[in-house]
Amino acid sequence: MSLFSKQNKEAFINPLNLDNPIMVQVLGICSALAVTSQLKPAIVMGLAVTIITAFSNVIISLIRKTIPLRIRIIVQLVVVAALVTIVSQILKAFAYDVSVQLSVYVGLIITNCILMGRLEAFAMMNKPWPSFLDGLGNGLGYAMILVIVGAVRELLGRGSLLGFQLIPQSVYDAGYMNNGMMTMPAMALILLGCVIWVHRAYIYKEK
């Protein structure tokens, strides 16, 4: 089978749109709500989930025929936990401030239902390369939503993106004020709901 066959392309592309883990399946929204107050932690969390999902898929796919069915969930959790630990240590070493912002949510990637769902539904039944593409696509689909919500919340709530002030001081002098509600966790849920609504309206219109 070609590396970029139709099935492999679909495994990567579908999670970005038609089968997005957040917008369609509504999975992994707890961390999506918690880490999107600013764009930087949203990007880092998205990348962490993408890397862990892709490589855990590959590892489980490689050993799938040797895993006893009775303990497959335990094996999957061990693989994910090992990768999460590595990513967590890397963040603490090279991006400590972001690691502090993300707090316990990096460790909670272990229980992320997107990861466990892809391991059980795809990696256990497919070869490593398609599994890698599936994990990469689902991770990027998840990261995309985090980036959108994080960007909107930081821009409207703080007037900045990645720490750089985007709204000129003259606008504030004219009476503009940052929307403090955007920094509250409840707004993450409302924005996420709006994103899901727009996406589903677009999909239904296309159909």
Residue 59 has pLDDT above 80, yes or no: yes
Q: How far is 37 from 153, CA to CA, in rounded Å?
A: 6
Residue 32 has pLDDT above 80, yes or no: no
Rounded percentage of the chain residues whose pLDDT exceeds 90: 46
Residue 60 has pLDDT above 60, yes or no: yes
Q: Residue 167: what pLDDT?
A: 85
Q: How far is 148 from 195, CA to CA, in rounded Å?
A: 9
- pTM for the full predicted model: 0.89
If you average pLDDT over residues 139-165, what whole number do you get? 90
If you average pLDDT over residues 159-180, what whole number do you get? 85
Average pLDDT of the chain is 89
Integer-rounded Cα Rg, in Å, for the chain is 19
Residue 56 has pLDDT above 80, yes or no: yes
Q: How far is 194 from 196, CA to CA, in rounded Å?
A: 5
Reported as half-sphere exposure (CB side, CA atoms, 13 A), residue 65 has a value of 4
If you average pLDDT over residues 32-48, what whole number do you get? 88
Q: How far is 92 from 41, CA to CA, in rounded Å?
A: 13
Cα angle 120, 88, 135 (rounded to 5 degrees) comes to 30
If you average pLDDT over residues 98-110, what whole number do you get? 86
Dihedrals phi, psi of 145, to nearest 5 degrees? -70, -40
How far out from the chain centre does Cα 107 lie? 14
Residue 118 has pLDDT above 80, yes or no: yes
Q: How confident is the model at residue 132 (pLDDT cuts 50, 70, 90)?
A: very high
Q: How confident is the model at residue 82 (pLDDT cuts 50, 70, 90)?
A: very high
CB atoms inside a 10 Å sphere around CB 174: 8
Cα angle 75, 118, 125 (rounded to 5 degrees) comes to 75
Q: Residue 17: what pLDDT?
A: 84
Q: How confident is the model at residue 25 (pLDDT cuts 50, 70, 90)?
A: confident
Q: How confident is the model at residue 78 (pLDDT cuts 50, 70, 90)?
A: very high
Identity of residue 110: I
Q: CA distances (Å), 7 to each of 13, 15, 24, 115, 134, in order?
A: 10, 13, 20, 20, 10
Q: What is the dihedral of CA 90, 64, 109, 201, to 10 degrees?
A: 120
Dihedrals phi, psi of 161, to nearest 5 degrees? -140, 130
Q: Residue 126: what pLDDT?
A: 93
Residue 1 has pLDDT above 70, yes or no: no
Q: Are 133 and 8 in contact (CB under 8 A)?
A: yes
If you average pLDDT over residues 78-97, what whole number do you get? 93
How far out from the chain centre does Cα 69 lie? 28
